[in-house]
Amino acid sequence: MAAGLAGHYTDRMDALKAAPEADAFVAGLDALLAAALARIEEAAKAPPAAQIGVRELLVVALRNEIEASEEAAMWLIAERDPELKLGLARQCGDEAKHYRLIADRLAALGHDLSGHDPLAGGHSPMFRYLKSLDTTAERLAAGPFAREALAKVRNEVFAQFCDAHGDAETARLYREIITPDEAYHHELGRRMLPRYVRTRDDQERARRAVARTLQIAEELQDVARMKLGISSAPGC
Ligand SMILES: [Fe+2]
Ligand SMILES: [Fe+2]
């Protein structure tokens, strides 16, 4: 073995030894996530502007679902681990299914979506950040683990908004179909992460990815409320 290569493996072994156990590290990420989600949930409960109702918030959800589907699609191609690849494939399909269910619900509410392009305004800063991530550890941490946990919390706030506005059917769609899928996507990230955060470098990347994802989510939530009067919107 060449000296340089031997050095590479020695370094990697050192990193393995030095890094906290992967399970303990992911438990630490849970705590970071829970603290930010509590803040985001509180802010999301602020009522939207008077002109924003269930239909307007469902239209916002369409872009989130399309972006989540694209995110899983672009990442699944790069993975070799069949469990992760198939998990992302399921997520990709689930998000597409959510888009269809939401579009059907909008149609039932009398909202015409013909000609609607959910990406007409371009991809969101959240999507652009996720797309920039290079490692499996970062992708799992930011996407399935953090963004899908965010979706669970936001969807329940939205379901409560639907209840308060007499739309039990939309609340049911979220509570019985969409949110359980988002919970599965979060659990996929939670379950797979320990395999991909065995070195200090991967752990640091994953931690930063979770923190940055949550920070972007909070910033976007503030901008949507201040500029558009949007609050209580569902996730993805
Ligand atoms: Fe999802
Ligand atoms: Fe979704």
Render pLDDT for 53-97 as a digit per residue (tens, 0 to 9). 999 999 999 999 999 999 999 999 999 999 999 999 999 999 999
User: Rounded to the nearest whole angstrom, what is the distance from the C-alpha of residue 12 to the centroid of ligand 1?
Assistant: 34
pLDDT at 223 > cutoff 90: yes
3-state DSSP assignment of residue 29: helix
Percent pLDDT > 70 in the chain is: 92
The ligand that comes nearest to the alpha carbon of residue 147 is 1
User: Rounded to the nearest whole angstrom, what is the distance from the C-alpha of residue 17 to the centroid of ligand 1?
Assistant: 34
CA pair distance 165, 207, nearest whole angstrom: 38
pLDDT at 181 > cutoff 60: yes
What pLDDT shows up at residue 20? 76
- Yes or no: say if 54 and 218 are a contact pair by the CB < 8 Å rule: no
What pLDDT shows up at residue 123? 98
The ligand that comes nearest to the alpha carbon of residue 100 is 2
Give this prediction's pTM. Answer: 0.90
3-state DSSP assignment of residue 232: coil
The alpha-helical segments, DSSP class H, found in 114-199 are: 125-131, 136-140, 148-164, 168-173, 179-196
The ligand that comes nearest to the alpha carbon of residue 90 is 1
